Amino acid sequence: KYLRTNVGFYFFLARAPPQKQHFPHLLRRNCGNINTRTGSSLNKHPITPLRSGIRLVAIDLDGTLLDSRKELPIGAIELFTSARRAGLLISIITGRNACSVFNLAKTLHLSGPHASSGGSMIFGNGGRPIYFRSSLSGEDTRQVVAISRRWNLTIFIQSASRILMENGDHFLSYLTRDFNPCPPQPCKDILAELNFKPLKFTLYGDHQALSNARKEFEECHGCFHLTTAGEGDIEITPSEIGRAHV
């Protein structure tokens, strides 16, 4: 919402196409002839955003900015430096929480604003100012947890700076890499440990369990927004939040 109404620039959302090219390749294709594997050609072939009309680039993280190993591609820092010098505003828009954005935004010297937790929070660099924030109510939170437990799902609950996890110890090694700087806190009873209003739930389980849980969530009729990042998960944000929001 903030990005669409308060920033008077062309909005360009770069998402990985079917051939699984990542964001640096898309930026090169749309904004200039850049060799993303080395920094040597950056001065010879500067980014020229006027050619495409792009003024603001909003980037997803997993599968777009980050590669399959959750790492920045070679040459990404130099590429973004060139893009920034050419006058592009660069923002991160992700389903991860704000903590995961801070480190990358600092590394790449991005301008912001950024959107995290699937659009539940929109903020400037370093987390301030907060332009928008929406959280799930206590009643909705308890309902999501109850349904998730009924179908033995792994539960992740996000705040801006913390992630709580129930029934998912097997995810820990995967979620403590460089650009997952907020490792989840395992909980036996996630509601007992919860001392913040959730911005987002992410739920994992087998196909049948997710299908059964999804049917129960859909019967809530607008209590929260239901989406997914793939076949193996369910993402839940406050009812007024959706991908179209940002």
pLDDT in tens, 6-62: 332 223 333 333 344 444 554 544 444 333 333 333 333 444 544 567 778 888 888
Which contacts qualify for 219-225: CB closer than 8 Å, 24 or more apart? 220/143, 223/140, 223/143, 224/136, 224/140, 224/144, 225/118
pTM of the model: 0.76
SS (H, E, C) 181-205: CCCCEEECCHHHHCCCCCCEEEEEC
pLDDT beneath 70: ranges in the chain: 1-52, 171-180, 222, 242-246
Q: Are 161 and 238 in contact (CB under 8 A)?
A: no
The DSSP string of 42-98 is TTTS---GGGTT--EEEE-TBTTTB-TTS-PPTTHHHHHHHHHHTT-EEEEB-SS-H
21 vs 53: CA distance, rounded Å: 21
**234 phi and psi angles, rounded to 5 deg:** -130, 135
Among 205, 200, 196, which residue's Cα sits nearest to residue 225? 200
Instruction: Give the bridge partners for 154, in sequence order.
Output: 204
Q: Are 70 and 61 in contact (CB under 8 A)?
A: no
